[in-house]
A and B are shown apart, each in its own frame.
Chain A
Amino acid sequence: MGNQPQQSTVPSPSGQTRQSAGRSAGESIFLTVVYAVIVLFGVVCVVPFWLVLANSFATEGSFLANGYQMLPEAWSLDAYSFLLKGKQLLLSYRNSLMVAVAGTVIAVTITSMFAYVIAHPKVKYRNIMAFLTYLAMVLGGGLVGFYIMVANWLHLKDSLWALILPYVLNPFYAFILVAFYKSLPYEINEAATIDGAGDMRLFWSIIIPVSTPVIATVSLFYAIQFWNDWYLSLLFIDDYKLHPLQLMIRQLISNLNMSAYVGGGASYRVAAPASSIQLATVCLTIGPIVLLYPFLQKYFVKGITIGAVKG
C-alpha cells in the first residue's frame, strides 16, 4: 500500500483525475499524511475484533498467565465446546433470532405504512404527524412511565413481546422511508386513481414493489437494532430462559457462577474457562453481523445517504 500514492491516473470519486503531473513536495507530504491517517484508523477499528476472536481460542492457562494477547500462546476450543454443551447459548440464540425476525417483519410493515402517509401530499395532517413523530424521537416517554406501561399495563414482563413492540416504529428509519417516498413521481398516484384503485391497493401493489431496495435497507437497520438491544431485556426479562444473546453477554461479564449459567446446572465438574467463554459468546453474537456485513454494507450506506439528503 505504501506505493499507492505514486500512481497518478486513478480516478477520483467524481470520475476525473485529481492528481495531475508536477506534484510539489507539499502535495506528497499531504498525501502521506492522508494515507497514514486512513490506514491507522482502519487498523484501530479492526484490532479489537481480532483480539476478541483470537483470545476466544486461548486456553484458560494461557489466559491466567498472560492476560489478553494479540496471539495467544496456547490455543483450544474449550470455550466453544463448553458453550455448546450447555443449554443457555442455544436458548439465547433462539430468543435473539425470534426477536430479530418477528421484530423486523412487524416493524418494517408498520413503519413503511406510517411513512407513506406522512410522505403523501394529499394528507392534510402529514406535517403534524411528522412533528409528533420527531418529538417522540427526541423526548421519549420517560423511563418510569414507559416501564409502568410495558410491565403493569400491558403485562409484558418476561415476555419476548416486550423486546419487540416498543421498537416497531423507529422515527429515524421512518424518515428514511419518508424521504424515499417523497422522491417518487406523483404521476404514479394519478395513473392509479384513473384506473380506479384506492390508496390502499396503490400502496400494496405499486408502492411497496418499487420501494424494495429501501425497504431492504430499513429491514437491515431494524434487524441490527433488535439483535443488538439489551436495554429492553435488562428492564423486562428476568427469566434466564428468555435471555437474548446480549443479556447473556452481560450475565457472563457480571456472573460469578458462570458454569451454572452456561453449563445448564452444577453437573459439570470441570471449571468453566471463564474469560474465553465471554469472548466466545461475543464471537458467536457478532459473527452473523460480521460475516454478512461485506455483502450488506452497500444497503446500509444507501439508507444513511437517503436519510442524509433530506437532513
Chain B
Amino acid sequence: MGFIRELTKNRQLYALAIPGIIFLALFSYIPMVGHLIAFQRFQPVKGIWGSDWSGLANFEFFFGGQDWLRVTFNTVYLNALFLVFGIGAALLLAIFINEAGSVLLRKLSQSLIFLPYFISWLVVSLMMLAFMSSDGLLNDWLGRLGLEGVNWYQNAKLWPFILTVVYVWKFSGYYSIIFMAAIVGISNDYYESARIDGATRLQQIVYITIPSIRSVIVVLTLLGVGRIFFGDFGMIYGIIGDNSILYPTTDVIDTYSFRALRQLGNFGMSSAVVVYQSIMGLATILLFNRLARRIDPDSKLF
C-alpha cells in the first residue's frame, strides 16, 4: 500500500532510476543465480535449470585440497600489504608535498605521482618486463655493481614484495590526492598557535595534521579491509598471467576461480570458490562496518 503510493507519487523520479536498476540487476544481482552452480554437477548443455544437483561435492573438492588455504592466505596477505604500504606511502607523500615550500614543485610532483593511476595493468606488466626480464634494466644495474643477476620471474619468494612496490607506484598518487584534499581543509589557526608554542614541523605533523585527517584514514582503511577477500584480478592476472612458477605466492582467489573456469572448464568448483569468497566478504563488511560505527560514527559506510 505505502509502497505503491510512494511509487506513484514520485513516479517521475523512479522512472529516472529504472535504467540503472535494470543494469544493476542484469550484471550484479541476476548473475548471483550462478551461485546455484556451486551445488550442481553443471553441464553447459543442460544449463542451470537442467543440471543435476550434487550437494556440497564442489565445496568438498575445493576444501579437500591444499589450494584453498594457499589462495586465501595469498589474497588476504597481499591485500594487507597493499593496504598498509599503499595508505602509508600516500599519507607520507601527501604530508611531504604539503610541507614543500615551492609551489612549482608541489604542482609538478602531484602531477607526476598521479600519472601511473591512468594506465592499465597490462601496460604496467610490460613496463615491469623492461625492468625485470632476464636482460632487463635491474639485472643490468646489478651487473654494473658486480652483483649477479636475479631470475625475477622464477623466484616466487620475491613477489609479495614486488607486487607491493608496484601497487604503491600505481596507487599512492591517487590516495595522496584524497589526503591532500583533507589536509588543505585543516584550519591554519592550529599551526599558528602550535608555532607560537614552539612546536617543530615534525611535531605539527604528528599532533595536528595526522589527527585532523584521522577519519579519512579510517574510511580508506575500512574500504580496503572490506575488500580483503577480493583480489585485484586485473593486477594479478595482468602481471603474473599463466606463469605457474609464481602461483605459490601470487595466486589469489579471483585468479584461481578464473582458471578453474577458463582452463579447467570446472564451472562447479569455480562457483563454489566465488560463493566462499562472497560469504567471507559479506561477513567482513558487516563486521567492520559495525566496528567503524564504534570507532568513529562518521566513518561508517552505511
With both chains docked as a complex, state the minimum distance between the C-beta of B111 and any C-beta of chain A, in angstroms. 6
Q: B115 to A46, Cβ gap below 8 A?
A: yes
Most chain B CB neighbours (cut-off 10 Å) among A127, A139, A152, A282? A139
Tell me the nearest residue of chain B to A14, going by C-beta.
B188
Q: B34 to A41, Cβ gap below 8 A?
A: no
Q: How far is the CA of A234 from the CA of B121 in the complex (A)?
A: 13
**CB neighbours of B98 from chain A (8 A):** 12-13
Interface string of A27-45 (1 = CB under 8 A from B): 1001100110111011011
Q: B271 to A144, Cβ gap below 8 A?
A: yes
Q: A114 to B6, Cβ gap below 8 A?
A: no
Q: A311 to B219, Cβ gap below 8 A?
A: yes
Q: How far is the CA of A1 from the CA of B109 in the complex (A)?
A: 12
Q: How far is the CA of A139 from the CA of B118 in the complex (A)?
A: 24
**CB neighbours of B216 from chain A (8 A):** 308, 311
Majority-rule SS of B interface residues: helix
Q: How far is the CA of A123 from the CA of B102 in the complex (A)?
A: 48
**CB neighbours of A157 from chain B (8 A):** none
Q: B108 to A42, Cβ gap below 8 A?
A: yes
A249 within 8 A of B: yes
Q: A144 to B261, Cβ gap below 8 A?
A: yes
A205 within 8 A of B: no
**CB neighbours of B102 from chain A (8 A):** 1, 4, 7, 10
Per a CB cutoff under 8 Å, which of A27, A69, A125, A278 touches B6? Answer: A125
**CB neighbours of A125 from chain B (8 A):** 6
Tell me the nearest residue of chain B to A133, going by C-beta.
B24
Q: A169 to B135, Cβ gap below 8 A?
A: no
Q: How far is the CA of A108 from the CA of B249 in the complex (A)?
A: 39
Pick from B68-76, B78-86, B156-164, B172-180 the stretch touching chain A.
B172-180
B31 within 8 A of A: yes
Most chain A CB neighbours (cut-off 10 Å) among B103, B118, B201, B285? B118
**CB neighbours of B215 from chain A (8 A):** 311
Q: How far is the CA of A142 from the CA of B47 in the complex (A)?
A: 17
Given A134-B302, A143-B258, A231-B234: A285 touches B30 (CB 8 Å cut-off): no
Tell me the nearest residue of chain A to B36, going by C-beta.
A145
Pick from A49-57, A82-90, A255-263 the stretch touching chain B.
A49-57
Most chain B CB neighbours (cut-off 10 Å) among A31, A37, A140, A145? A145
**CB neighbours of B47 from chain A (8 A):** 152
A136 within 8 A of B: yes
Tell me the nearest residue of chain A to B184, going by C-beta.
A13
B113 within 8 A of A: yes
A68 within 8 A of B: yes
Q: A41 to B113, Cβ gap below 8 A?
A: yes
With both chains docked as a complex, state the minimum distance between the C-beta of B262 and any C-beta of chain A, in angstroms. 8
**CB neighbours of A146 from chain B (8 A):** 27, 31, 34
Q: B96 to A308, Cβ gap below 8 A?
A: no
Q: How far is the CA of A120 from the CA of B13 in the complex (A)?
A: 9
Q: A282 to B270, Cβ gap below 8 A?
A: no
**CB neighbours of B184 from chain A (8 A):** 13-14
Per a CB cutoff under 8 Å, which of A4, A67, A110, A309 touches B23? Answer: A110
Beta-carbon contacts under 8 Å, A115-142 to B: 116-118, 120, 122-125, 127, 129-134, 136, 138-142
B245 within 8 A of A: no
**CB neighbours of A24 from chain B (8 A):** 200
**CB neighbours of A231 from chain B (8 A):** 233-234
Beta-carbon contacts under 8 Å, B134-162 to A: 135-137, 140
Given A31-B99, A143-B274: A249 touches B123 (CB 8 Å cut-off): yes
Interface string of B260-274 (1 = CB under 8 A from A): 010000010011001
Tell me the nearest residue of chain A to B172, going by C-beta.
A41
Tell me the nearest residue of chain A to B267, going by C-beta.
A144
**CB neighbours of A127 from chain B (8 A):** 302
Q: Given known contacts A46-B115, A142-B34, A200-B15, what 5 new A-B pairs fall within 8 Å (CB)?
A: A10-B102, A67-B133, A127-B302, A146-B27, A150-B27
Q: Would you mind naming 17 contact pairs between A and B with Cβ atoms under 8 Å apart? A: A5-B101, A12-B188, A31-B101, A34-B100, A38-B96, A68-B135, A109-B19, A110-B19, A114-B16, A134-B301, A143-B254, A230-B122, A231-B233, A300-B114, A305-B178, A308-B181, A308-B216
8 A-B pairs closest in CB distance: A145-B34, A141-B31, A114-B20, A145-B31, A67-B135, A136-B28, A228-B120, A199-B12
B residues neighboring A (CB under 8 Å): 6, 10, 12-17, 19-21, 23-24, 26-35, 37, 44, 47-48, 92-93, 96-103, 105, 108-109, 111-116, 118-123, 125-127, 129-131, 133, 135-137, 140, 169, 172-174, 177-178, 181-184, 186-188, 191-192, 195, 200-202, 215-216, 219, 226-227, 230, 233-234, 238, 241, 254, 257-258, 261, 267, 270-271, 274-275, 278, 281-282, 285, 298-299, 301-302
A residues neighboring B (CB under 8 Å): 1, 4-5, 7-8, 10-16, 18-20, 24, 26-27, 30-31, 34-35, 37-39, 41-42, 44-46, 48-49, 51-52, 55, 66-70, 109-111, 113-114, 116-118, 120, 122-125, 127, 129-134, 136, 138-150, 152, 154, 165-166, 168-169, 174, 198-200, 203, 224, 227-231, 246, 249-250, 253-254, 278-279, 282, 285-286, 289-290, 293-294, 297, 300-301, 304-305, 308-309, 311
